Amino acid sequence: MRYFPSQHLRDIRELTDCNNHTDAVWLLAEILGDKKGLEITKALFTIQRVYGSTPEGAIQIRNETLNRLLQISANEFKNYDQIRASF
């Protein structure tokens, strides 16, 4: 197992602190190289742009995607707890 880079932990924390949750999920998908997560967040960005906000259904999809990515992270990174806490 490897460690999740501390700079990425800071980046995710900063994004969530600024209410950019979809960007934070995208960043995790990018770091993991998860194509499905990247495609989903790309679609969510489009929905957010068109609606001007994030509809409840999109939030649900984002949370499902985040949970899946966190499960992957738990198997790959020793410092998973820090990743989870960043969100």
**AA letter at 21:** H
- The residue among 67, 9, 80, 78 whose CA lies nearest residue 34 is 67
User: Per-residue pLDDT tens for 24-47?
Assistant: 999 999 999 999 999 999 999 999
d(CA 84, CA 6): 13
Ranges of residues in the chain whose predicted pLDDT is under 50: none
d(CA 12, CA 21): 9
DSSP state of 19: T
Q: What is the pTM of this model?
A: 0.93
- The residue among 55, 1, 48 whose CA lies nearest residue 26 is 48
**Residue 32, pLDDT score:** 96
